[in-house]
């Protein structure tokens, strides 16, 4: 599978960096705890979907469109948020599998999933996964997938990162929004 993002040199040429599978706990910027998960692009869908099984339904889903590939907005424009509540795990997984190109190989959006107990799983533009809060259930799932608990370099620490936005995923984004019945939330300023 293509990556959402690639490490490059200062000229924008890919430098060959591929993160080793790993996870580690850390303090999140808001004062809580979280787990940061980094896996190569070919494992991203499987690891993400296994972690989603830890989130307790009903699920809240946020598709945070940072880049509108078809109608670019000025730099610094707030993202466009598409939200749905009470999404079943089965519907979410089926939708992600049907539209995996836009979810796992395109950096146009972040996917946030929140559970009934306030737990949250975020797939960011770099292809990193953030699990909130740091909890043994996340760690058990990752250990079961053979993802080791260790700090290793990932895309968040690279000096130059190129994000990929593929035209062939435009239709998938539309299908994902329809399938999950996502509604645009007006921007608050």
- Supply the pTM of this predicted model: 0.95
pLDDT value at 178 more than 70: yes
pLDDT value at 189 more than 70: no
CB contact at 8 A, 180 and 92: yes
Report pLDDT digits (tens) over 117-172.
Answer: 999 999 999 999 999 999 999 999 999 999 999 999 999 999 999 999 999 999 99
**Alpha helices (H) in the chain, listed in sequence order:** 41-52, 89-98, 100-104, 136-144, 170-179
Report pLDDT digits (tens) over 32-83.
Answer: 999 999 999 999 999 999 999 999 999 999 999 999 999 999 988 999 999 9
């Amino acid at each position: 599978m293509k990556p959402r993002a690639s490490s490059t040199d200062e000229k924008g040429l890919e430098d060959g960096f591929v993160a080793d599978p790993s996870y580690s706990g850390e303090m999140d910027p808001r004062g809580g705890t979280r787990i940061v998960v980094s896996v190569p692009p070919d494992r991203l869908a499987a690891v993400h979907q296994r972690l989603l099984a830890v989130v307790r339904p009903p699920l809240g889903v946020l598709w945070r469109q940072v880049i509108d590939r078809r109608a670019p907005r000025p730099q610094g424009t707030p993202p466009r948020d598409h939200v749905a509540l009470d999404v079943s795990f089965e519907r979410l997984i089926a939708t992600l599998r049907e539209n995996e190109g836009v979810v796992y190989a395109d950096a146009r959006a972040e996917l946030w999933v929140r559970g009934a107990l306030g737990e949250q799983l975020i797939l960011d533009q770099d292809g990193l996964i953030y699990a909130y809060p740091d909890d043994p259930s996340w760690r058990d799932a990752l250990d079961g997938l053979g993802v080791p608990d260790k700090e290793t370099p990932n895309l968040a620490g690279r000096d130059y990162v190129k994000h990929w936005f593929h035209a062939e995923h435009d239709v998938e984004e539309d299908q994902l929004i329809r399938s999950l019945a996502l509604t645009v939330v007006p921007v608050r300023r």
